[in-house]
A and B are shown apart, each in its own frame.
Chain A
Amino acid sequence: MSDVRVVITGTGWVTPLGCDVPSVWKRMIAGDSGIAPVAQFPASSYPTNFAGESEDVNLDAILPNPKPHRHALRNVRFALAAAAQAWSQAGLSTHSLTNPRRFGMYLGSGEGPPDFGPFAEANLKSWKADSRSVDYANWAQSAQKLFTVHNEVGQEPNMSLAHLATAFGCQGPAYNCMTACAASTQALGEAFEIIRHGDADAMLTGGAHSMIHPLGMSGFIRLTAMSTRCDNPTTAARPFDATRDGFVMGEGAGMIVLESLQHALDRGATPLAEVAGYGSTADAYRITDMHPDGQGAASAMRMALKQAGIEPREPASDNRPPIDYISAHGTGTKENDSTESNAIHTVFGPQAHNLAVSSIKSMTGHLIQAAGAVELITCVQAIQTGWLPPTMNLSEPDVECDLDYIPNQARDLNANNGVEVCLSNSFGFGGQNDTVVIRKFHP
């Protein structure tokens, strides 16, 4: 077993509630909503026509040399903006890395948004209604005329890595993973393991994603996974509430600087929290549903807790709960929220009712691949400030969701010695389960 300690020294995000950590945190503690009717494209007739949209990023304002990035697509612009915040909080200045090959990246970034207009046009032009088939010669000619190289190649899912490497100079091991809604939690966990193994001293990790485009929204609508509460969007994201009817799509990015404690101390950086454990499992059950008793989710949590040396069924030494805060996956779908609650019962047994659990997706929506990183940053904020963010829109308790979800009002734990340990869950389509445990940094 490696004895390398890994700490978080920088965080940054772009969310539907704004794009710097302190101001967004204030809004989360106040229980604000970032959900509104979709503005990026005409969606008013969609069964779900609202989402959590983030403000676009002006790269000229955040990068000293924006030139190589002028073709960055929306998801990559989010990634660059979040990383710039994390970089500055970590006290790293652009391109001043002393050993760039020991600074790696592990992202759970999504693909770029499709260039939908030209795409729809090429398909419409080449569709032969009489024979119900595509005229590929026509398709090729239309596409050749309508598509642009930067909008097409820019969609490749490793483009965030290419841009971040160029903007920040990271030349160590670089990975991007796409494990659906679990991706950026998994990225952070694997980045943690890479540092522990000694393959890098520091890692830029996190995720960026936007699926708020016609095909992304349509795909989830067809899966009947999204809320259809079009008459009142700000109340649509209602994790753990009995009347929840699906998730609300969000977009954005979360980026985190991880480093070995030694590396952080050597350069005089301030650890914000320590990564204590990571667990990753597959349900191997169905591509559409979680295992009904949440056994994959439970084993991911157990794995992370074991690595962190935390006994989930016992109180912590000073009679606190074993974990002060669980940032739930909490999507607001019928299935996820009850299964996740079950899994928490399975793992924590008699301690489950002493835990404080919440889902910030009630305010930001579901940032898909970026969700895990953004939620982990809320855990860092909880440790830093002693406050826990609420689950909003939780007015009708569900018998299948019977934990303390911090309903509708943030909680101040400063009178109870603040927040020591947090756990963050992310689960993805296909049965991907990832859990990370972080704790307050003690030298």
Chain B
Amino acid sequence: MEFSFLFISSPQCVTQHFNKHPTLRHMSQSVVITGLGVLTGLGQGAPAFWEGLCQQRSALKPVQSFDASEFASSIASEVKDFSARTMVPKSYRKAVKIMSRDIQLAVGAAQLAVLDAGLITRASPEVIAEDTQTTYPADRIGCQIGAGLIAAETPELAMALATAKADDGSFSPHLWGQSAMDNLPPLWLLKYLPNMPACHVSIIHGAQGPSNTITCSEASGLLSAGESLRVIQRGSADACFSGGTESKINPMGLMRHHLGGRLAPTDPSTSAPDLIKPYDPDSPGQLIGEAAGVAIVESQTHAKQRQAKMYARLLGFGAGQSTFGNIPPLPDIQSSGTETGLVFAIQDALNEAGISPDQIDVIVPHASGIGFMDAREAQALREVFSSALTKIELITITPNVGDALAGQSSLQLTAAALALKNQQLPARINPGNPPSDLRAEQISARKASLGYALVCTNALGGQNAAMVLERL
């Protein structure tokens, strides 16, 4: 049935929509995605991610990076065989030491995106060899990379704290202040500041345009994409690094999310792919993934000039906030009403895109696996799409890569861009029973004709974002 929307992506139709919304359009630059870089448990690079989704693979496995056996939830999607050192110029390798895992993932994803987009930056070997110039002047590239709260590495901090042990075994503030804190490395703080992913990327690639770090949990990546779009539309840059990064696969991250009631309990006999059941009211919770996704977004004029490959156009963006009866919104006390902020976000995105809900061919939602969040998200989709919803395929990625929080919606954006580019729906994993009006049940990958995709997310904290992408 999605084939019936094929005609929508013809240029004449798009022109019509432009004319329907002259006030929105005349000031707006057309902005396209020209490069994708992702690091997920499914592998390194967008092709590995896509292949994993299509082959119905799940990267959710028992945690290997530390002994998580005593944690209530100890299955996660980890990025394997990744070394940030190999992905930065030789002169920058020393700096990897002061990058937390979240920063390293972002730096790696940005490098993959640059290569995919065919951008020449100051990190490119030919620029370092002074053979050629960068694609963009430094002040015309911005950098919006969302991040979360980055937990200090436990061994590094525990080792320093242990040197402030009083005779009775307790922590001594006096000893800590007097000398023990000297056991923290001098640049310790800089390893964990959330703006460092964007800062390192801007330094490595020489991006001197507007640079921002949005910290709205799962909405961070998509809000960053929206901000990149606006930065280019208002003329403050011609291209942006745009994405999100997070790794909560550390003791603090797993504990915090367990305490927050978000994680599915696991035990040694659990098989991970059976746990995550998007939109099933009986879903036991979510599992954590670590990931970074960085896209290169550019004004279409510039992308055309340099004959760049284009994945999709960012056609419309919206954001909105939900309110709660109690904060933080924990699963045991939240009613599963409608995610109102998500309704506003999607409606605004569709409005800017100049298309109606039934023109959307595929939706890439959050699908967290957390019962109340899924229920609120589903209710928002019903409100916007009403009966058309039953005809729209969903792409759900949490059973494959877990939930990477600030990195997650950048992965969703990547999936949407690839679906449009490849004209293909990836497989879905869902061992549960999603409601019959949502196309979220288990399926295999197949070819499909896709003109418009919607990426949307809700988030812990009530921020919501939505982006309409158009096939090129």
Q: How many Å from the CB of B465 to the closest CB on chain A?
A: 8
The secondary structure that dominates the A interface is mixed
Residue pair A136, B70 in contact (C-beta under 8 Å): yes
**Is A399 close to B, CB under 8 A?**
no
Enumerate chain B residues within 8 angstroms of A153, measured Cβ to Cβ. 256, 259-260, 328, 330, 460
Across the interface, do A154 and B328 meet the contact criterion of CB distance under 8 Å? yes
Known: A127-B162, A430-B193, A430-B196. A175 touches B261 (CB 8 A): no
Across the interface, do B261 and A45 meet the contact criterion of CB distance under 8 Å?
no
Assess the A104–B321 pair: CB atoms within 8 A.
yes
Convert A178-190 into 0s and 1s, putting 1 for each residue whose CB lies closer than 8 angstroms to a CB of B: 1110000010001
Residues of B within 8 A of A179 (CB): 195, 198, 211-213
How many residues does chain B have at the interface if contact means C-beta atoms less than 8 Å apart?
104
> Nearest residue in A to B192 (C-beta to C-beta)?
A219
Could you say which residues of chain B place their CB within 8 Å of the CB of A163? 327
Which residues on B sit within 8 Å (CB–CB) of A159?
327-328, 461
User: B159: CB under 8 A from chain A?
Assistant: yes
Partner of A284 from the list B174, B202, B344 (CB cut-off 8 Å) is B202
Q: Which of B415-472 contact A (CB under 8 A)?
A: 459-463
- In B206-254, the 8 Å CB interface with A consists of 206-217, 223, 227, 230, 233-234, 236, 251
> B43 at interface (Cβ–Cβ under 8 A)?
no
Asked if B203 and A284 make an inter-chain contact with CB atoms under 8 angstroms apart, the answer reads yes
Q: Are A149 and B216 in contact (CB under 8 A)?
A: no
Is the C-beta of B325 less than 8 angstroms from some C-beta in chain A?
yes
Q: Please report the total number of A residues contacting B with Cβ < 8 Å.
A: 99
Give 1 or 0 for each of A316-353: 1 = CB within 8 Å of chain B CB: 00000000000000000000000000000000000000
Q: Is the CB of A158 within 8 A of B216?
A: yes
Chain B hits for A178, CB < 8 A: 147, 193-195, 213, 215
Which residues from chain A contact B155 at a C-beta distance below 8 Å?
Answer: 133-134
B273 → chain A, closest Cβ, in Å?
24
| In the complex, residue of chain B having the shortest beta-carbon distance to the beta carbon of A132 | B159
Say yes or no for A34: interface residue by CB 8 A criterion: no
* A107 to B326 Cα, complex, angstroms: 20
Q: A144: nearest residue on chain B (CB-CB)?
A: B255
Main SS at interface, chain B: mixed
- Which stretch in A68-76, A234-242, A249-257, A410-418 binds the other chain? A68-76
**Residue among A161, A165, A175, A176 with the most chain B CB within 10 A?**
A175
Residues of A within 8 A of B340 (CB): 171
B174 CB, min distance to chain A CBs, angstroms? 5
Query: Min CB distance, B464 to chain A, in Å?
Result: 8
Nearest-neighbour CB distance to chain B for A392, whole angstroms, equals 27
Q: Let me know if B61 is at the binding interface, CB within 8 A.
A: no
CB distance from A75 to the nearest CB of B (A): 12
Interface presence of B377 (CB below 8 A): no
Task: Knowing A162-B462, A174-B319, say if A286 contacts B203 (CB, 8 Å).
Answer: yes
Of all chain B residues, the one with the shortest Cβ separation from A43 is B177
B161–A44 touching, CB < 8 Å: no
Judged by a CB distance under 8 angstroms, whether A280 is at the interface is: yes
- A142-165 contacts to B, CB under 8 A, are 143-144, 147-150, 152-159, 161-163, 165
Q: Tell me, in angstroms, the Cα distance from A420 to B155 when the chains sit together.
A: 54
- Stretch in B50-58, B182-190, B382-390, B396-404 touching the partner: B182-190
Can you list 12 pairs linking A and B with CB atoms under 8 Å apart? A1-B27, A45-B176, A71-B327, A72-B327, A123-B154, A127-B162, A162-B327, A166-B327, A171-B321, A179-B212, A286-B203, A299-B139
Excluding A121-B170, A153-B260, 8 further A-B contacts by CB distance (< 8 Å) are A152-B256, A171-B340, A176-B215, A179-B195, A179-B198, A186-B212, A280-B211, A430-B202
A contacts, CB < 8 Å to B: 1-2, 41-47, 49, 68-69, 71-72, 101, 104-105, 111, 117, 120-121, 123-124, 126-127, 129, 132-134, 136-137, 139-141, 143-144, 147-150, 152-159, 161-163, 165-166, 169-180, 186, 190, 193-194, 196-199, 214-215, 218-224, 280-288, 296, 299, 303, 428-432
